[in-house]
Structure 1
Amino acid sequence: MTQRAQPPLDSEIESELDAHREAHLAAPADSQVAAAHRAGTAVRGVTGAIRDTHGAVASKVFASARRTVGPVVTPVEFAHDHIARAAYGASAVALEGVAEAVGATAAKAAQAGRTSKFGRGTTRRASGVLAFVHGFNGDKMASSGRMPLSSPMSLRRSGERVPATADGLARAYPDATPQIVIFVHGFVGTEQMWKRHAHRDDDGRRLSYGRRLEAHGDWSALWVRYNTGLRIKSNGLELALLIEQVVDHWPVPVERVVLVGHSMGGLVASSALLQWPTSSTWGPLVSDLITLGTPYHGSPIEQGANYLAEFFSGYGATRWLGDVIQFRSEGIKDLRPGNLFLADTRGAMPDAAEWRQALAPQMVVRHLAVAGVLTKDPHARLGGIIGDGIVPRASARAGADNDLSRSTMMGSMSHNDLVNDPRVYEVIADVLGVQA
């Protein structure tokens, strides 16, 4: 019998939020040096996994050879192990050193007020690589002894970090409006993903959903960047704290908040709402949640990876392969059941409709779930199976429609198309009351 999970109590949420507030105060500024340290640590982890895989395969080869030709193989095996151990160790140290050196040089240039000679495009690519590393190894990076904290979730605008302080928000939003829309990216992404295949305005800026809403409506758009390798529950708490800071320090009184999340970002936004403590002021300001291709009923890809990990781990000859697959982050594993706020996934499967109903006594939030479907006819049977290529149609729709929850399906729409497509923008603009 599958166990149903219950939302955490307010006292539990307050305790965890306090811990996150303290962590934010203790954490260093988001710098390129810190990013380089985290990248180096991740390189060590990946190199270690490759080393262990190599070792497991080599052991099997030498064992087979020993059965065939006898103990004469032993000196060769000893020499191989010694050389491989030294090579992998040197590679990990060298790669980590290069990452740190590049990060330190970039940081010094930034502190001196100089523009990187590599240009903004290279900075975006570097951020994308780091986001990829975060997605698969971010939980280990955050808990490592050397880097006890990964960078906290932060606001971004034009690629730059925006402090969630009165001065920082006032500088970034000189024309701040009482209505704010917050965009939460998906797995291994950054805020730059919202500009995918975007047209440019007269000033050369790529037009994302947020930029269009700012240009045509009385809205201010905010984008977050976060470590997608962390548990969804942890990122949900981070988002709750960040929204609290924004509302408290926004240049003008906030009247309305709308959250837009793509894929994992929709789970993070949902988790923030479900973990909202009644003592916070921002909860009643949230009117709408819009999710795009969010796997509320779990991701088949992660479900398949978990099955393979358990299958290979059950046999001595393939246990090493199971260990390699298990190396993936807890953030990825949370995608298996669409975990919103649990500390782990054992014995619990989500029911998004039930969990949203738990909000009713304290918060009234309308939810629009947008499901992409690769087939031209979004209602086709095949479309229901393949969905947007990543998330099945039923998983993205998140349950039956009701007064507070509705869904819409879009044919000929892939998972990544959802982050910047005219049809999706029209739906978002309609919810926000903006002329598309």
Structure 2
Amino acid sequence: MPKKPKAAAKPLRHLRPSDLRAVTQLATQATRGVTTMSEGVHQAVWSSMGASSHGASKARARGITGFVYRAVHGVTELVGRGLQAAFTKMEPLLENLVDEPPETYGREAVLAALNGVMGDQLAQNHNPLATPMTLRWQGNALNPHAMPPMPGATGKVLLLIHGLCMNDLQWRAMPQEGGKPQSDHAAALSAELGYTPIYLRYNSGLHTSQNGRKLAALLEQVLQHWPVPVEELTAVVHSMGGLIIRSATHYAQQDNLHWPTQLKNIVFLGTPHHGSPLEKAGNWVDVILATTPFSKPLAKLGQLRSAGITDLRYGHVLDADWQGRDRFTRTPDSRQSLPLPEGVACYTVVATAASKRSPLADRLIGDGLVPLASGLGEHSDPRHNLQFAKTAQATVYRTPHMALLNSPEVTAQLLQWLTPAKPAQRAGS
């Protein structure tokens, strides 16, 4: 029998009416950016031929060439504004004609990656694709001023925070790949220990301290309106999420918010407490490209990466770590020290792609993104050394960075750490 043809893909199911305006804005910015880089390379070549002595500007091209570049900028801006205005007027009509499509895993994954790479620019330009910060329960955003009924909610709140270029959906166990089992940390902690999971979704392209401040305020509102008295708050955080919870706790304590008194445990999964080599390498690329007049305009490509990414160079968690500094200039680590929060049980899980510990593998490989020393909070400067207790450290082998989200070994370790100790029985009882 002939095989039935596969159902045609439906790409429109991922789209929203506001996407037309958002993509137009991105296209306008991209065109202007490419034009600026082209003008810079053109002028560098022109200057190298001695043309600068004939009145050419080193900053901008002049004459007919300059007129052409100015015309491209002007037309691009004019067309972009016109299209955005037209699409803005169309949005209410499209929203009335078309039902809001359901949230899809594919769309949210693309948006999460886009926000991670350039989320600060999306937010600055009020692009509809910028991800607002929300706390989510069972797939829905929680409105602290109009909390929905939450049947089954307990006083043990489990907060899960994703990392760079990711979203809350990626905490769920995915289909098995190559027969390798996967686990759902939140489901296990809920079933075994009675936690109620809530997930943070946020724009990971913003500075970590900006997200920390936002989380501190949002968490205060949500927990104040929690349907039952909150007994404890436990956070399980992956990668950049660990920097954000440290930042949020600091600013919440600084502002005398209540929820830090309810915070009992933080478990860090692959958090780059002292930075990631990939961002340090990216900063070196900026430096190298800027060394010659011909490649200097191309350095703008590297400078498209977000504030969230550049914060990962050294593991920034405070406003003072980045304010007043050019984040693309290579400078020594000058961040302020921030110890782990007092009175909170802090644990860390690190991963390595190697099959066993070795100094070379720990430093160069780690989990592919975060070296073991950074994940363990170890630093040669005592001010930055986070000093996790030995019993609060765990290493998983043959595990890449992303696999920490769904590793059965990590789930088992979470259960071991978070299960309350049973009181010792009296003799003779």
Normalised by the size of structure 2, how large is the TM-score?
A: 0.75
Look up the equivalent residue of 1:163 and give its one-letter code: N
CA distance in 2, matches of 1:371, 1:61: 49
CA distance in 2, matches of 1:61, 1:297: 41
Instruction: Give aligned pairs, total.
Output: 377
Residue pair 2:352, 2:400 contacting (<8 A) in 1 also: yes
- For the pair 1:249 / 2:225, whether they are aligned, the reply is yes
Q: Structure 1's 44 and 431: CA in aligned 2 closer, same or farther, altered over 3 A? A: farther
Look up the equivalent residue of 2:403 and give its one-letter code: D
In structure 2, the partner of 1:262 is 238
Aligned match of 1:424 in 392, 407, 410? Answer: 410
CA distance in 1, matches of 2:86, 2:404: 36
Larger Rg: 2
- For the pair 1:188 / 2:165, whether they are aligned, the reply is yes
CA distance in 1, matches of 2:140, 2:49: 57
Residue pair 1:166, 1:251 contacting (<8 A) in 2 also: no
Look up the equivalent residue of 1:355 and give its one-letter code: L
Q: Which moved more, 1:335-344 or 1:148-157?
A: 148-157
- For the pair 1:46 / 2:30, whether they are aligned, the reply is yes
SS of match in other structure, 1:277: helix
Residue pair 1:374, 1:383 contacting (<8 A) in 2 also: no
Residue pair 1:262, 1:294 contacting (<8 A) in 2 also: yes
Residue pair 1:232, 1:271 contacting (<8 A) in 2 also: yes
- For the pair 1:370 / 2:346, whether they are aligned, the reply is no
Q: RMSD of the TM alignment (CA)? A: 3.8
SS of match in other structure, 1:210: helix
In structure 2, the partner of 1:202 is none
Once the 2 structures are TM-superposed, how far is the Cα of residue 421 of structure 1 from its aligned partner?
A: 1.3
CA distance in 2, matches of 1:98, 1:90: 12
Once the 2 structures are TM-superposed, how far is the Cα of residue 297 of structure 1 from its aligned partner?
A: 0.7
In structure 2, the partner of 1:55 is 39
In structure 1, the partner of 2:109 is 128
SS of match in other structure, 2:206: coil
In structure 2, the partner of 1:332 is 309
- For the pair 1:160 / 2:131, whether they are aligned, the reply is no
Q: Structure 1's 82 and 153: CA in aligned 2 closer, same or farther, altered over 3 A? A: closer
- For the pair 1:341 / 2:325, whether they are aligned, the reply is no
Q: Structure 1's 320 and 139: CA in aligned 2 closer, same or farther, altered over 3 A? A: same
- CA deviation string 1:269-289 (max 9, x = no partner): 111112222632211111111
- For the pair 1:356 / 2:339, whether they are aligned, the reply is yes
Once the 2 structures are TM-superposed, how far is the Cα of residue 406 of structure 1 from its aligned partner?
A: 2.9
SS of match in other structure, 1:328: coil
Q: Structure 1's 379 and 406: CA in aligned 2 closer, same or farther, altered over 3 A? A: farther
Residue pair 1:152, 1:238 contacting (<8 A) in 2 also: no
Q: Structure 1's 35 and 83: CA in aligned 2 closer, same or farther, altered over 3 A? A: closer
Once the 2 structures are TM-superposed, how far is the Cα of residue 75 of structure 1 from its aligned partner?
A: 9.3
Look up the equivalent residue of 1:124 and give its one-letter code: Y
SS of match in other structure, 2:294: helix
CA distance in 1, matches of 2:338, 2:418: 24
Once the 2 structures are TM-superposed, how far is the Cα of residue 66 of structure 1 from its aligned partner?
A: 9.8
In structure 2, the partner of 1:285 is 262
What does 1:167-316 correspond to in 2, within 5 Å? 167-168=147-148, 170=149, 173-195=150-172, 197-198=174-175, 208-277=184-253, 279-316=256-293
Q: Structure 1's 156 and 62: CA in aligned 2 closer, same or farther, altered over 3 A? A: same
Normalised by the size of structure 1, how large is the TM-score?
A: 0.74
Residue pair 2:168, 2:200 contacting (<8 A) in 1 also: yes
CA distance in 1, matches of 2:93, 2:108: 16
Residue pair 2:173, 2:183 contacting (<8 A) in 1 also: no
Residue pair 2:278, 2:369 contacting (<8 A) in 1 also: yes
What does 1:402-417 correspond to in 2, within 5 Å? 402-403=388-389, 406-417=392-403
Look up the equivalent residue of 2:364 and give its one-letter code: I
Q: Structure 1's 406 and 318: CA in aligned 2 closer, same or farther, altered over 3 A? A: same
Once the 2 structures are TM-superposed, how far is the Cα of residue 124 of structure 1 from its aligned partner?
A: 2.8
- CA deviation string 1:82-102 (max 9, x = no partner): 785578558856986898699
Once the 2 structures are TM-superposed, how far is the Cα of residue 376 of structure 1 from its aligned partner?
A: 1.2
In structure 2, the partner of 1:381 is 360
CA distance in 2, matches of 1:36, 1:155: 27
Compare the two structures and name the one with the higher helix fraction: 1
5+ residue gaps, structure 2: 1-14, 55-61, 177-181, 326-331, 379-385, 421-429
Residue pair 1:131, 1:190 contacting (<8 A) in 2 also: yes
SS of match in other structure, 2:339: helix
In structure 2, the partner of 1:397 is 376
Look up the equivalent residue of 1:370 and give its one-letter code: V
What does 1:63-74 correspond to in 2, within 5 Å? none
Q: Structure 1's 97 and 215: CA in aligned 2 closer, same or farther, altered over 3 A? A: farther
5+ residue gaps, structure 1: 1-30, 200-205
- CA deviation string 1:335-362 (max 9, x = no partner): 11100113443575457xx5225x33xx
Q: Which moved more, 1:324-333 or 1:78-87?
A: 78-87
CA distance in 1, matches of 2:228, 2:127: 37
Residue pair 1:36, 1:104 contacting (<8 A) in 2 also: no
Residue pair 1:39, 1:130 contacting (<8 A) in 2 also: no
Look up the equivalent residue of 2:197 and give its one-letter code: A
Residue pair 1:262, 1:291 contacting (<8 A) in 2 also: yes
Q: Structure 1's 398 and 89: CA in aligned 2 closer, same or farther, altered over 3 A? A: same
Look up the equivalent residue of 2:234 and give its one-letter code: V
Look up the equivalent residue of 2:224 and give its one-letter code: D
Q: Which moved more, 1:254-263 or 1:48-57?
A: 48-57
In structure 2, the partner of 1:319 is 296
Q: Structure 1's 298 and 52: CA in aligned 2 closer, same or farther, altered over 3 A? A: same
